[in-house]
Amino acid sequence: MDSASTNGIMSFNHKPEHCGHVSGFVNTQEEQRVHIEVRQANGPQIDGITMEGQGHRSTLREVMSNSPGWSFGPFPFETRVYIKITHKRDGAWVASHVVGPLTVDKRPERNYPMEFRSQTVISEDLDNSGHEDCTVTVLEYK
């Protein structure tokens, strides 16, 4: 894990010409909300969504379409993915404590030329320090 944040925001680079797919799940009765922004590196937002979920081992769902995942790209330039995780406490959305990203790379091979990178962010809604309340994974591939 690279870092931790108490403001609920984690970000990482996304390579040019690579597609991205976002999915996640929750494991708590607290409502969880994930805002995802894709920005040009050091530039404006070019895409984004909001996903929500609640319950034990429940899938995050896109708010607008109820889809269990979201795909973006490819873009001809480097982008930066921002993930903000919040949870509902006493009727208000509060920033979760987030840790990550945990990065796993799969380099191209002669017999399997696809390249993958998985970046996972985990969060804690500050109740039990378990960091299993909301898990978001961005799969980058080309």
* Residue 40 · residue 76 · CB < 8 Å: no
pLDDT computed for residue 76 by the predictor = 97
pLDDT for residue 122: 92
- Quote the CA–CA distance of 80 and 11 in Å, as a whole number: 7
Q: Are 103 and 113 in contact (CB under 8 A)?
A: no
For residue 82, what is the domain's CATH number? 2.60.120.400
Number of domains the chain contains: 1
Task: Tell which phi-psi region holds residue 90, choosing left (phi > 0), alpha (psi between -120 and 50) or beta.
Answer: left
Residue 30's pLDDT is what?
A: 87
| pLDDT tops 90 at residue 6 | no
Amino acid at 77: F
pLDDT digits (tens, 9 = 90+) for 110-141: 998 889 999 999 998 876 777 789 999 999 99
pLDDT in tens, 80-110: 999 999 999 889 999 999 999 999 999 989 9
Note the pLDDT of residue 59. 95
Residues spanned by the domain of 136: 3-141
| pLDDT exceeds 50 at position 1 | no
pTM (predicted TM-score): 0.90
**CA Rg, the chain, in Å?**
15
Q: pLDDT per residue over 29-87, tens digit each?
A: 889 999 999 999 888 999 999 999 998 889 999 999 999 999 999 999 999 999 999 99
Burial class (CB in 10 A: 0-12, 13-18, 19+), 21: middle
